[in-house]
Structure 1
Amino acid sequence: MRKFILTILVCVLVTVLSACSSSSSPGASGSVKIDIALFHTENDAFAQVFKDWSAKVKEKTEGRVVFHPHYSASLVSLFDTLDSVSNGAVDAGILSAGAISGHIPAMGLVETFGVFKDEAAYKSIYQEATPLLSEILEKRKVKLLFWSPGGIDTLAFHRSKTLQAPDAFKDLKMRTAGRWQAEQVKLLGATPVTMDPSELYLALQNGTVDSTLQTVGLANAGKLVEVANKVTSLKIPLNTVQWVINPDVWAKISPEDQKIIMELSNEAGLNAYKAVETKEVTDLESIKSSGGEVYQVTDAERAALLDVLNQVNDKIVAEAGEEGQQLNEILKKYR
């Protein structure tokens, strides 16, 4: 009888331990299922990049590695993603340079409005800077898979006016995504307000902020045009996002599949500029059809804005330490 009871207890214990194992643990078939925290919605440009990349990962690894998405910051907020992936609370996630530059000063250099000149410059920077960015993030106990532009066009939203000239921003309360974007907004004469993208709709609606500079994809997904229909297309790339994974979770993947994933990641990163740009064209048309009155700045107006915004770069470099000096040496070749 005692032997029978002991056998039952062992079986129960095995069942409980199996149920409690993490989602990233290899299953009976050797597969690794990875929960990834995504701050964006399922319908924006980042989502399309993720879906294409993760589908290829699943196909090329024959289902041995599967990324399971959690959209709209449902797993963890954007500003908590770095710590959560680093400490293993979350398997993987997407970061934003704007959200982490306060903790990693060098990332301020790839946060700002005007970070890339064009697609050719982005691809050159991607190839040269990725090893350095990998080292920078590895020191913070996350592994970089790949990265991409945060946006190719920056949209300025307001309830009653277009914002095509530097002096148009004076005295506005503006939502920004990070420290250095906040400094750039100050250079325009506005007051920066930092908040998660998920809070922006209500903030515009109730007047907590007067305006925002936002990517086309996030603006369309967040339906910002419903609360601020005066839209200015500044034609200025902004920010970068980084797909990262916890090193212990990465170690559960076989070396062969790690190689496959990194090859696909490099491909996704290099092609991300065009992928984001293509989706932005569709999203901007959606904003127009939803009532957005869109004004596109002239080349001269764009240049005038960049003359002001780019004044922040020297200050970033001065505070970004050795990592920032190394990254700036790459970036300044393509400005």
Structure 2
Amino acid sequence: MPSGPKLSRRAALGIGASAFAAPAVARAQTLRWRMVTSWPKGRTGPSISAQRIVKRVNAMSGGRLQINLFAAGEIVPPFAVLDAVSNSTVEMGHTAAMYWQGKMPAAGFFTSVPFGLGPIEHQAWIDLRGGQALWEELYKPHSVRAILAGNTGPSMGGWFRRKLDGVEDLKGMRLRVQGLGAEIYAKLGAVPMTLSAGDLLPALEKGSIDAAEFLAPATDLETGLPKYAPFYYAPGFNKPNGASELLISLAAWDLLSPDLRSIVIEACRAEHTLGLADAYQTNAAALTEILGRYPVSLEAFPRSIMDATHRASTELLEEIAATSPLAGRIVESYRSALQELRGWSGLAADMARANTRTSVVVR
């Protein structure tokens, strides 16, 4: 029986390689996800962090995971991000844990605690001291996973229409403030107001609020707050840290291969580092511009206010710890990190100040 043409060894190997490669190509199906945020489009700080995370994941995954980004209000309102990810309306969200205190009293510990951990200390708690496991346990009933995903650094104390002489000046004051700081101000007689970033400036302009705490000089300047409040207060005891979170629905997370999960985690980790460096650079420039361009007085909070808010913070943490066994463990873990890390952090800060030749004078 006549035989057909013989295949060369190279051709045979080529067929074999193609046969094995085809299924691999078929398996490399693109996942297309949507990420909603709590931030206006293009806003300095967390909005830029969300953009950079999306770009990193899209590039590092080689096209296997493609994320489309949506600003606050484009799919869901800014304070509905957790619900949207929890019910799988979208796969991901970029937001801040402090917005969910009403659902989970201990959620604020994963953004910022008054008089609490700074950005690097907070990252050490999350990544190295068990904070991540506690975070996942807290969010599991909502069917989401949270990842540290950017940091805007310490905040300022806020913008006030009138100068503060003492605690009595806070009574009845309508103050836009977020996070655990809102509960502290309420204890001192102020009236905390919850406003999204997009609604903040009109409220201050119209006088429907008396003061506004937002973030730091760069975002405050971009928002326009120096136009309508002449007293800029420090320190930002309310938010010594500015951690953002990436939320992923557990259903979506389960679809990711181990390498794609690592890509998402490392993209977020990189943004914490870059976002914090970006914040320090932009805030330094923005503070100089604010003080040179606007008739603004940079003020220190009166000692009576600092003492009263510190006492209220200690009381608040005890109240949160009592809400559930898990909240108690979160508070205990956080306090342990604060106690053990603060000694070195304080010494490092002293050394930095000793090496600083110029400083901004609070006047």
* Fold in common (TM above 0.5): yes
Query: Deviation per CA, 1:54-107, whole angstroms, max 9, x where unpaired?
Result: 332222212322332222443222221111111111221123233101101221
Matched with 1:228 is: 229
Q: Indicate conservation of the 8 Å contact 1:150/1:238, yes or no.
A: yes
Structure 2 Cα separation of the partners of residues 115 and 286 of structure 1:
28
CA contact (8 A) 2:158 2:214 kept: yes
C-alpha displacement of 1:317: 1.4
The 5-angstrom pairing of residues 242-253 of structure 1 reads 242-253=245-256
Aligned partners of 2:150 and 2:245 also within 8 Å:
yes
Q: Does the alignment pair 1:137 with 2:136?
A: no
Greater shift in the superposed pair: 299-308 or 144-153? 299-308
Separation in 2, partners of 1:287, 1:40: 23
Structure 1 match to 2:204: 204
Identify which range, 78-87 or 88-97, moves more after superposition. 88-97
Note if contact 1:115-1:238 (Cα within 8 Å) is conserved in structure 2.
no
Q: Which shows bigger deviation, 201-210 or 246-255?
A: 246-255
Report the alpha carbon displacement of residue 302 of structure 1 after superposing the two structures with TM.
8.4
Aligned pair in 2 of structure 1 residues 79, 150: CA closer, same or farther (>3 Å)?
farther
The answer to whether the Cα contact below 8 Å between 1:175 and 1:212 also exists between their aligned partners in 2 is yes
The letter of the residue matching 1:122 is H
RMSD: 3.1
Specify the code of the residue in structure 1 equivalent to 2:294. Answer: G
Aligned-partner Cα distance in 2 for 1:115–1:77: 30
Q: CA deviation at 1:247?
A: 2.5
Whether the 8 Å CA contact 2:119–2:242 is kept in 1: the answer is no
CA–CA distance in structure 1, aligned partners of residues 308 and 285 of structure 2: 25
How far off its partner does 1:182 sit?
Answer: 2.4
Alignment match, 2:9: none
Cα offset for 1:125? 1.5
Q: CA shift at 1:213, angstroms?
A: 1.7
Query: Given the superposition, is the C-alpha separation of residues 111 and 55 from structure 1 closer, same or farther in structure 2, using an over 3 Å criterion?
Result: closer
Q: Does 1:266 align with 2:266?
A: no
Report SS of the residue matched to 1:214. Answer: coil
Aligned residues: 306
2:310 corresponds to? 307
Structure 1 counterpart of 2:134, which letter? L
Question: Do residues 316 (structure 1) and 320 (structure 2) align?
Answer: yes
Deviation at 1:185, TM superposition (A): 0.7
Letter of the 1:34 partner, please give it.
W
**Structure 1's 96 and 264: CA in aligned 2 closer, same or farther, altered over 3 A?**
closer
SS in 1 for 2:213: strand
Q: Structure 1 residues 165 and 66 mapped into 2: Cα distance closer, same or farther (>3 Å)?
A: farther
Structure 1, 251-260 or 185-194: larger mean CA deviation: 251-260
The residue aligned with 1:20 is none
User: In the aligned structure 1, how far is the partner of 2:167 from the partner of 2:241?
Assistant: 17
Contact 1:113–1:309 (Cα < 8 Å) also in 2? no
Distance 1:260 1:113 in 2: 29
Deviates more, 1:262-271 or 1:140-149: 262-271
**Residue of structure 2 equivalent to 1:214:** 214
Residue matched to 2:187: 187
CA deviation after TM superposition for structure 1 residue 47, in Å: 2.7
Q: 2:187 corresponds to which letter in structure 1? A: L
Residue 287 of structure 2 corresponds to 284
* Letter of the 2:55 counterpart: A
Secondary structure of the residue aligned to 1:136 is helix
Unaligned runs of 5+ in 1: 1-26
Equivalent residue number for residue 7 of structure 2: none
In structure 1, the partner of 2:244 is 241
User: For 1:136 and 1:250, how far apart are their aligned partners in 2?
Assistant: 17
Q: Pick from 325, 329, 333: which aligns with 1:326?
A: 329
**Partners of 2:178 and 2:171 in 1: CA distance:** 19
Q: Report the counterpart of residue 171 of structure 1 in structure 2.
A: 172
2:37 corresponds in structure 1 to: 38
Report the TM-score, using the length of structure 2 for normalisation: 0.73
What does residue 81 of structure 1 align with? 81
What is aligned with 1:155? Answer: 157
- Secondary structure of the structure 2 residue equivalent to 1:135: helix
Three-state SS of the structure 2 residue aligned to 1:143 is: strand
Q: Aligned partners of 1:227 and 1:131: how far apart in 2? A: 43
Q: 2:256, 2:165 → 1: CA distance?
A: 49
Matched residue, 1:64 = 64
What amino acid does structure 1 have at the position aligned with 2:96? S
1:142-165 Cα distance to aligned partner (Å, 9 max, x none)? 122324556412231123x34485
CA distance in 2 between counterparts of 1:271 and 1:126 reads 17
Q: Supply the distance in 1 between the matched residues of 2:119 and 2:153 (Cα, whole angstroms).
A: 12
Aligned-residue sequence identity (percent) comes to 17
Give 1 or 2 for the bigger CA radius of gyration: 2
Q: Which whole-Å CA distance do the structure 2 matches of 1:93 and 1:282 have between them?
A: 30
Q: Is the 8 A contact 1:91 1:249 kept in 2?
A: yes
Separation in structure 1 between the aligned mates of residue 58 and residue 298 of structure 2, nearest angstrom: 42
Hey, what does 1:100 align to over in structure 2?
Answer: 100
1:132–1:327 CA contact under 8 A, matched in 2 = yes
Question: What is the DSSP-based 3-state SS (H/G/I as helix, E as strand, rest coil) of the residue aligned with 1:244?
Answer: strand
The whole-number CA distance in structure 2 between the counterparts of 1:255 and 1:73 is 32
> TM-score by structure 1 length?
0.78
